[in-house]
Amino acid sequence: MKRCPSCRTDYPDDAQFCTKDGTRLIAKPDAAVADTRATATPSRPPGESAASGAGLIGRVLDGRYRVERKVGEGGMSFVYLASDATSQQRCAIKVLSAALSQDTNAMARLKREASLGMRLAHPNVCHIMRMGETEDGLVYVVMPFVEGEILSDRNNRLGHIPVDDTVRLVKDMAAGLQVAHELKIVHRDLKPENIMVCKRPDGTDYAVVMDFGLAKERRAGAELQKLTATGIILGTPEFMSPEQLRGKPLDARTDIYSLALLTYEMLTGRLPFQGRTQQEMMIARLRSEPIALRKMRPDLNLPEAVEQVLLKAMARNPDDRYQTALAFAEALGAAGGGDAGAADNGLMGRLFGR
């Protein structure tokens, strides 16, 4: 079971947000224990090869990556910590399940993902460095090993994140997204679960955008369109832009919309659109205006200028939003660093494009 940390209402495991106030749900203590047990003794899906489990530990892949231990798993993949004999650095090895490794369409999509990912080297992006195949026929990708706290966990732990901290993390996310957008790559699945908050040597936090697995080039041909299908199938509903919900062509501005939703949740602990069901919340994004930041959390005394920046970034029409991720981050930084009540026309013009 899950529980809303705000109103304490209980929900089933597959729910993600409270239908009363939009707050992200957290696992109840008893559910967390059950999840830990399930991770400790995972059951393999039918057809899963033993080589994708503990059998890889101690092996050297591609003559350079020594697999040390398993650090996580999903429905169709296992993630390992490995050491690179060439660079002497740690890396993450994501090994796909046997069933997925034999899926022709999935492999075509993964090869495209890998070719894109290798162009995304940036401190604020976890990119694919290499793709290979084990002797057992299992496909794997090599990525930087990123240690930190998942942003959704931080949101749940703190309830909301202060403006200054939010501005800094959004600046990092925008920097990573900007690199992708300049390469004509759109993330399409930006959400708190895909952001890792890490520590620099001096103890300060920085954000890394993870999982460009749904990334797609804007100038895609017919075959690529068949592989990626539509955004409504591949994205995460809670953070989809209106054009993504409608299955329309996407560009960088869909990520800006999702980044704004993510920012709103960081600042308030809630989402700006409400409904009794996930479907109602999706419809609200298509037909309704977002709940203003300070109306959602009047107790936090959030700056009016920050509220206005987010309203612009969450405009239903992409033409009415900020046109680049960096422009959004810069506007948010200016709004969050000043006294909104004393903002002059010059500052407001810089924030809102006047």
For domain 149-352, the CATH class is mainly alpha
Tokens found for residue 202:
């001096």
Of the candidates 200, 201, 205, the one whose C-alpha atom is nearest the C-alpha of residue 173 is 205
Tokens found for residue 276:
């009794």
Q: Which residues of 70-92 are buried (b: 16+ CB within 10 A; e: fewer)?
A: beebeebbbbbbbbbeeeeeebb
Average pLDDT over residues 305-315: 97
186 residue type, one letter: V
- Please list the residue range(s) of the chain that carry CATH number 1.10.510.10: 149-352
Of the candidates 246, 116, 270, the one whose C-alpha atom is nearest the C-alpha of residue 192 is 270
User: What 3-state class would DSSP assign to 49?
Assistant: coil
Which residue carries 């929900």 as its tokens?
Answer: 11
Tokens found for residue 181:
């957008």
**What count of other Cβ atoms lies within 10 Å of the Cβ of residue 277?**
10
Tell the CATH superfamily of the 57-144 domain: Phosphorylase Kinase; domain 1 (3.30.200.20)
pLDDT in tens, 79-138: 899 999 999 999 999 888 877 778 887 788 778 767 777 788 899 999 888 889 888 888
Residues, the chain: 354
pLDDT in tens, 207-237: 999 887 545 444 433 333 333 333 333 456 7
Given this model, what pLDDT does residue 51 score? 44
**Are 67 and 59 within 8 A, CB to CB?**
yes
Catalytic residues: 189
- Please list the residue range(s) of the chain that carry CATH number 3.30.200.20: 57-144
